[in-house]
Structure formats: structure tokens, C-alpha cells
């Protein structure tokens, strides 16, 4: 029961504005709750995490947060001790503006790596900020737009669990690969869920959603997925809450893949019939990340041999070509390629080409050696990805 809509959540206020980090577009946002919230999150596994990740991990350790402060256009990564100071200064600025402890603020930054934040511009943004906060959907939308970098569209989703509301806001289009925590994604809810239950729940949810999505195999230094629960709506059915949170996270993950830098298509890939989860996961990642698979899907070129190649790259597992079945598409139009159709030369490449032309490409790989399954989402690789990334800082 999720909706692709932005919705206010009782007890949460938002701001999104320009503070002039690079140009005059929206580049700064805050989420402020009217009370401390139960909080849990997962962060990038990068060994080179950004300064906001280091400070954010400290602050969320208590299981309580009341606010988020974020800027785009500059990631505050690889900026040394001064970067840490700058991330703390962002938390202090918001805490003083709104009257809370700085340890209740989660910092985040996204954009170019290796440049110092223009911290004076950010500090100036806190003057009068308390008066700019608003608890309506329009303010939440400005917040969602302020965190965009190469995103083509803002990303939000909402849902209801009993009397409680859930809002998810995210950004992410490149430097995305499933072997990580996630990109920037925050969930706000007025459900009452204690932090010790939120912690394992957000990890499970990330593993079903953001960790199954890949744009380009590059893992960000800034990935963050955090949920804040202010408790105003009282307790909820926990299984139902996790279900809605999962659906919301999957919706945002698919939106990131579909919106991947330069992408024209969402790819949904299911690996079934694997002998282990490890084989299923490694095979899914090998195929979804293969540049030759991604480019042939972009060109709607029915070059199905590239799937064979990408399956073969998982050296540690044997797969029998006689048992392997590849299914393109779903429903009545689907085309199955197995040893018999290949032996008979009966592949109907024109039908395959038509299936690859749509905005969503569904592929199932049945490895024929067990009963384990895994699925991932990705996107095609186009000239536009190169264009966006060849001159990113210049």
C-alpha cells in the first residue's frame, strides 16, 4: 500500500533552498521533527567514507535523532580533519537554529568528492531557518528537490500503516552498486517503533531494495539509508510496517535504477534455479553489471550470447548449458531460450528485439542446478552516461 506521492507526516517539518554552494539551484535542505525520534540506519561500506558518514554513525549510535541537514553539489569526502569539523558545524548550526542537542542531527552531503565545503555559506543558511520550516507536502517537495545531483527527477514515496504515515525521500543516479548500504534515502514516520526494532528492520529492508540495485558498479562514499520514527501516531503492526517500508524502499530503488545516469531502460533480472544464494547473487550481479549486456539492451540488440558470457564470468560455479534457460519478457510475449531452441536455431530474434525495445526489460535466468533465487534491478548503459561523467567537475 504505497503511493508515488509526497505526503506530509505529522510532527515533521522541511525546508529546501539555495545557499549558493555552486550556483543558484536548490542545494540545501533540512528535516526537523518536533521531538526526538527513534532512529536507525545503514551506511556505505566504503573504506573511504565521507565526513558526514563518520559523524552520522556517531550520532545515530544512540538510536535517537531529531533532524537531518543535507547539502548537494559537494560530498565533503576526502577533505581531512577540516571535513569532519565542517560536518559537525552543519549539525551545530541546525541544532542552534532549532533548539536541540547537535548529537540529534544527522548530517549528509552529496556531490563532488575532494573539495572543501563552502562552510560559511552553509552557516549563513541557519539564520532565520526556524521560520522557514513548514510541515506540508510542498515543503517536503522542496527538500526532495534540494538533494538532487544528476537525478533526472526527484524521488519520493508514501504509505499508510494503520493510523501512521510513512514518507520516503531519496536521491541517486550514479555511483550506484548493490554491494553497499544504499544511496541517500530517508524515511520519516509518525509510527511508534523503537530503535532496537528499527535497526535490524532497516538492514533487512536495505538488503531487499537498495542493495539489489546497480547503475554502474561504483559504490559511493556517502551512501545513507535512515528511518526516523517520532511515535506520534502510536504503535503499529510491525510486520505491516516492515512490509510498507520494504515496498517504499523497493519503489525508490527501482526509481534510482530507471533514473540511472543516462539510462533509458529499467532492467529487472531474476536468477532462479541456483544451487546457493551465493551463486544466485553473484550471477545476478555479474549479468546486471556487464557493460556488454547493458549496451545490447540499450540498442535492443538481441545478442543473447552476452548473457551466456556474463553467467560464465562467475568462475567458481559450474553451470550446465544443457539445463540453462533464459526467459526474456513476462506473460504471453515471453521468449524462452534453452538448449533445445538454440540447437534447433529457433530463437526468433525479431521477437526478442521487440521485447528489448520497451522501457522495462525483464529477464529470468534459470541455472537449472538448485532452488535458490535472487533478483536485482539495473539499467542500460548509454552514450549519455559517458557524456554526464566525462566532464563532471569541469
Site for its own copies in 167-186 (CB under 8 A): 174-175, 177, 179
For the record, the C-alpha cell of 201 comes out as 528492520
Catalytic: which of 182, 219, 224, 382? Answer: 182
For the record, the C-alpha cell of 101 comes out as 542537542
In the complex with its own copies, the residue whose CB is nearer, 15 or 215, is: 215
In the complex with its own copies, the residue whose CB is nearer, 116 or 204, is: 116
Site for its own copies contains 54 (CB under 8 A): no
Tell me which residues in 119-178 interact with its own copies (CB under 8 A): 174-175, 177
For the record, the C-alpha cell of 254 comes out as 527501482
Site for its own copies contains 48 (CB under 8 A): yes
Cell 544504499: give the residue: 182
Respond yes or no: is residue 394 known to be catalytic: no
Instruction: Note whether 6 and 31 are within 8 A (CB).
Output: no
In the complex with its own copies, the residue whose CB is nearer, 229 or 361, is: 361
Site for its own copies contains 5 (CB under 8 A): no
Tell me which residues in 69-98 interact with its own copies (CB under 8 A): 75, 77-82
In the complex with its own copies, the residue whose CB is nearer, 6 or 310, is: 310
Cell 563552502: give the residue: 118
Instruction: Select from 58-66, 243-251, 267-275, 299-307 the region that touches its own copies (CB under 8 A).
Output: 299-307
For its own copies (CB under 8 A), the number of binding residues is 73
Among 18, 240, 275, 295, which residue sits at the site for its own copies (rule: CB under 8 A)? 295
In the complex with its own copies, the residue whose CB is nearer, 79 or 224, is: 79
Site for its own copies contains 240 (CB under 8 A): no
Site for its own copies contains 363 (CB under 8 A): no
Site for its own copies contains 368 (CB under 8 A): no
What's the CA gap between 176 and 220, in Å, rounded?
A: 7
Site for its own copies contains 346 (CB under 8 A): no
Site for its own copies contains 323 (CB under 8 A): no
Site for its own copies contains 383 (CB under 8 A): yes
Site for its own copies contains 24 (CB under 8 A): no
Among 110, 149, 221, 224, which residue sits at the site for its own copies (rule: CB under 8 A)? 221
In the complex with its own copies, the residue whose CB is nearer, 169 or 173, is: 173
Report the catalytic residues: 182
Amino acid at each position: 500500500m504505497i503511493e508515488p506521492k509526497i505526503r506530509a507526516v505529522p510532527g515533521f517539518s522541511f525546508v529546501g533552498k539555495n545557499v549558493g554552494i555552486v550556483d543558484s539551484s536548490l542545494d540545501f535542505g533540512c528535516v526537523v521533527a518536533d521531538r526526538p525520534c527513534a532512529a536507525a540506519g545503514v551506511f556505505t561500506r566504503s573504506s573511504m567514507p565521507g565526513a558526514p558518514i563518520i559523524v552520522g554513525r556517531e550520532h545515530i549510535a544512540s538510536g535517537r535523532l531529531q533532524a537531518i541537514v543535507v547539502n548537494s553539489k559537494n560530498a565533503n569526502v576526502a577533505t581531512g580533519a577540516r571535513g569532519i569539523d565542517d560536518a559537525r558545524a552543519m549539525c551545530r548550526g541546525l541544532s542552534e537554529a532549532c533548539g536541540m542537542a547537535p548529537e540529534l542531527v544527522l548530517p549528509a552531503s552529496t556531490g563532488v568528492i575532494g573539495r572543501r565545503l563552502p562552510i560559511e555559506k552553509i552557516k549563513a543558511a541557519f539564520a532565520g531557518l526556524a521560520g522557514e520550516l513548514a510541515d506540508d507536502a510542498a515543503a517536503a517537495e522542496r527538500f526532495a528537490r534540494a538533494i538532487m545531483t544528476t537525478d533526472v527527477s526527484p524521488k519520493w514515496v508514501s504509505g499508510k500503516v494503520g493510523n501512521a504515515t510513512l514518507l520516503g525521500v531519496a536521491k541517486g543516479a550514479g555511483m550506484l552498486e548493490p554491494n553497499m548500504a544504499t544511496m541517500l534515502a530517508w524515511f520519516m514516520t509518525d509510527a511508534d517503533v523503537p530503535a532496537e526494532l528499527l535497526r535490524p528492520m532497516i538492514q533487512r529492508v536495505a538488503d531487499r531494495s537498495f542493495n539489489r540495485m546497480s547503475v554502474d558498479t561504483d559504490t559511493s562514499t556517502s551512501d545513507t539509508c535512515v528511518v526516523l520514527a517520532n511515535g506520534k501516531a502510536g504503535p503499529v503492526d510491525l510486520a505491516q510496517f516492515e512490509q510498507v517500508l520494504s515496498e517504499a524502499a523497493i519503489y525508490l530503488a527501482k526509481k534510482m535504477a530507471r533514473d540511472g545516469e543516462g539510462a533509458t531502460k529499467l532492467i529487472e533480472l531474476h536468477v532462479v534455479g541456483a544451487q546457493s544464494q551465493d551463486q544466485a547473487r553473484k550471477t545476478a550481479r555479474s549479468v546486471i553489471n556487464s557493460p556488454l549486456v547493458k549496451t545490447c539492451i540499450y540498442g535492443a540488440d538481441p545478442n543473447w550470447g552476452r548473457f551466456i558470457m556474463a553467467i560464465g564470468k562467475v568462475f567458481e560455479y559450474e553451470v550446465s548449458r544443457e539445463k540453462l534457460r533464459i526467459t526474456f519478457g513476462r506473460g504471453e510475449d515471453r521468449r524462452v531460450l534453452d538448449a533445445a531452441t538454440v540447437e534447433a536455431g529457433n530463437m526468433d530474434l525479431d521477437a526478442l528485439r521487440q521485447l528489448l525495445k520497451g522501457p522495462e526489460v525483464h529477464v529470468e535466468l534459470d541455472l537449472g542446478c538448485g532452488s535458490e533465487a535472487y533478483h536485482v534491478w539495473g539499467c542500460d548503459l548509454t552514450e549519455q552516461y559517458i557524456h554526464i561523467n566525462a566532464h563532471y567537475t569541469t
